[in-house]
Amino acid sequence: MTTAVLVLNCGSSSLKFAVIDPENGSRMVTGLAERVGTPDVAATIKFVGTDGALGAASALKLGAENDHRGVLAAVLEVIESWAQEHSVDLVAVGHRIVHGGEAFAASVILDDTAMAAVRACIPLAPLHNPANIAGVEAAQHVLPDVPHVGVFDTAFHQTMPSYAYRYAVPTEWANEYGVRRYGFHGTSHRYVAARAAQELGRNADPGLRLITAHLGNGSSLAAVRGGRSLDTSMGLTPLEGLVMGTRSGDVDPGVLGYIHDRTGADVSAITDDLNKRSGLLGLSGISNDMRTLDEAADSGDQKAQLAIEVFAYRLAKYIASLTVPLEGLDAVVFTGGIGENSRTVRIATLGHLTHLGLRLDPHANQRCVGGVGGQITVATDEPGTPVALVVPTDEELVIARDAAALTR
Ligand code: ADP
């Protein structure tokens, strides 16, 4: 019998799933359902072949129910019969949950008490937590006999000190409404920090100072010392910090009142613009996708060029600022779709950071793409000089491992 964990990531209209061996990270089944909750719901699934690689995606037959529970029931029926046929024992289900507020500093078994605390975090993540909860409830209904484990995007950053997480706002906002910085992408920051420590041969070093840069559609940084998050660039919501695909990152909060006065738009419309029409998309007027912008900039598009420059400048400025909580720096770690693949962004970002001793190695930078990681700065004999690395992230593997560990 092979043991495996089912990893679920439920968005408001999507459901990503994977059956993963928590020991070696191999994927046995993966799939995606889109437009969940609408009549156009559709799902695809891939199975591992005898060569160990995943085969082509095929359409998954769904039942009449188009909500999370209906889709999950169809997915699980196929997965369970596949598991039986291949002697795979599904020992746990790991759920990605976006917001754990101050209630969760680590992954937990999702019993009634834990679920009540996840529900209490809905006001902090009104778009994400309800979808995550729908996924957990649907999965518990269909698979009542295995433990369900919640893995939170916010948990890793619960080690931030109060001077890092407090905003300078009226105290009752903090006390009554939980207005503080929480941070996100914690699962990815935790994973790449541990991998980078291994690669540097310093995984037992409590003094190792890393800045992890998760750069995807959403982007954030974390300052990690000895495996603990000391600060991060996202805040109460994922809107704070770096320039992202469609999110503005930091702006003067005065922009809200100013745009309201000038256009009459209300807070929710302006917030929507800051989340969905800003960032790389807003700057370039072309796309939120870094690949498209890289190509457009190469062909001389000035707005695409500016978007990349703003992205890299903000990123470099934030990296430098996170040397404060770390009191120095041993390595910057690039990950996420952009961090792992965009050579242009790495060149532009590290170009602003030569004063920290970071000197890009153009050949190594060229090599690191499409899942290939490694050091991308020039090796130096000077002790204490920081390096930059590319480390492909794997959030699903962290979820599978946490679920397996808690189940044991
Ligand atoms: P998500 O946050 O949705 O998980 P990803 O981590 O997949 O997103 O990152 C998506 C981003 O990565 C997009 O901006 C995409 O253009 C960028 N990206 C992916 N591959 C490349 C590439 N080869 N070159 C430049 N950017 C890339």
Residue nearest atom 13 in ligand 1 by C-alpha distance: 289
**Same domain (yes/no): 81, 206:** no
Which of 21, 153, 330, 402 is catalytic? The answer is: 153
Q: Residue 196's pLDDT is what?
A: 98
What is the 291 CA–ligand 1 centroid distance (Å)? Answer: 7
Instruction: Establish whether 330 is a catalytic residue.
Output: no
Q: Are 343 and 227 contained in the same domain?
A: yes
pLDDT tier, 61 (very low <50, low <70, confident <90, very high otherwise): confident
User: Is the C-beta atom of 279 inside 6 A of ligand 1?
Assistant: no
Q: What Rg do the C-alpha atoms of the chain give, in angstroms? A: 22
Ligand 1 atom nearest the C-alpha of 245 is 14
159 CB near ligand 1 (under 6 Å): no
* The predicted structure's pLDDT at residue 272: 96
Confidence of residue 1 (pLDDT cuts 50, 70, 90): confident
| Distance separating alpha carbons of residues 4 and 85, to the nearest angstrom | 14
In this structure, the number of other CB atoms found within 10 A of the CB of residue 38 comes to 11
Distance 214 CA to ligand 1 centre (A): 11
Establish if 237 belongs to a structural domain.
yes
Confidence band for 5, pLDDT divided at 50, 70 and 90: very high
How many residues would you count in the chain?
408
Whether 129 and 252 map to the same domain: the answer is no
For residue 374, the cross-strand partners are 390
In angstroms, what is the span from residue 17 Cα to ligand 1's centroid? 20
pLDDT beyond 90 at 402:
yes
Q: How far is CA 46 from CA 8, 10, 18, 23, in A?
A: 15, 18, 9, 20
Which residue(s) pair with 228 in the sheet? 225
pLDDT beyond 90 at 336? yes
Which domain range does residue 26 map to? 2-152
Would the CB of 339 count as within 6 Å of ligand 1?
no
Residues 279 and 142 in one domain: no
193 vs 203: CA distance, rounded Å: 9
Q: Return the number of other C-beta atoms located less than 10 Å from residue 250's C-beta.
A: 15
245 lines ligand 1 (CB under 6 A): yes
Q: Is the pTM of this model over 0.85?
A: yes
Asked whether 393 lines ligand 1 (CB < 6 A), one says: no
Q: pLDDT band at 52, cuts 50/70/90? A: confident
Give the tens place of pLDDT for each residue, 282-319: 999 999 999 999 999 999 999 999 999 999 999 999 99
Are both 132 and 6 inside the same structural domain? yes
pLDDT at 380: 85
Q: Is the pLDDT of residue 205 over 90?
A: yes
pLDDT at 230: 98
Residues 136 and 217 in one domain: no
The CA distance from 80 to 85, in Å, is: 9
Ordered strands of the 108-109 beta sheet: 58-59, 42-47, 27-34, 15-20, 2-10, 88-97, 148-152, 108-109
CATH number at residue 212: 3.30.420.40
Q: What domain count does the chain have?
A: 2
Give the mutation target among 128, 217, 367, 395 for probing the ligand 1 site: most ligand atoms within 8 A of CB: 217
| pLDDT tens readout for residues 88-123 | 999 999 999 999 999 999 999 999 999 999 999 999
Asked whether residue 176 is domain-assigned, the answer is no
- What are the CA-CA distances from residue 153 to residues 19, 54, 105, 180, 359 (Å)? 20, 27, 10, 16, 32
Please determine, for residue 383, whether its predicted confidence score (pLDDT) is greater than 90. no
Range 321-325 contact pairs with CB under 8 angstroms and sequence separation of 24 or more: 322/211, 322/221, 322/222, 322/223, 322/231, 322/233, 323/211, 323/223, 323/356, 325/164, 325/223, 325/225, 325/230, 325/231
Within a 13 Å sphere around the CA of 142, how many CA atoms are in the beta-carbon half?
21
